[in-house]
Amino acid sequence: MKKEIESIPEELYLVLGEEIEDVEDFGELDTENVLWSESRVFETDVHYIRASQQPVSVSRETVEKMLEALKAIHVDIYNARVYDALKLVDQAIQQAEKEIKQ
């Protein structure tokens, strides 16, 4: 069973080293001087934020589909067709979950 590490920082800095002015590609860096730090060391450090803490973005297409589904739900409820409205809600939820996982 995989043990989860405790106290993983939410933010880290990739410390590239002090003298990187002439470096154009990450592969050119001196790997002995590249390390991770919980705080910024140099101005050239790269800031990383843990992906699980990032807000999920939804595409414009998904938002438009959800809006259309909500409009249809409004009409269906108004017309007392609750079953059809629930199907549309389920479809919108499934689509949004699929988009989020991508």
Q: Are 17 and 29 in contact (CB under 8 A)?
A: yes
| pLDDT number for residue 21 | 79
Number of domains in the chain: 2
Determine phi and psi for 4, rounding to 5 degrees.
-85, 135
**Shared-domain flag, residues 47 and 67:** no
Asked if residue 22 is part of any domain, the answer here is yes
DSSP structure class, residue 9: -
Asked if residue 35 is part of any domain, the answer here is yes
Q: How far apart are CA 64 and CA 66, in angstroms?
A: 5
Q: Which residue has tokens 């414009």?
A: 60
Q: Are 70 and 46 in contact (CB under 8 A)?
A: no
Q: Residues of the chain whose pLDDT is less than 70?
A: 1, 53-55, 79-82, 102
**Shared-domain flag, residues 49 and 15:** yes
| pLDDT number for residue 55 | 67
Q: How far apart are CA 42 and CA 13, in angstroms?
A: 10
| pLDDT number for residue 81 | 64
**Shared-domain flag, residues 71 and 95:** yes
The residue segments making up the domain with residue 35 are: 11-53
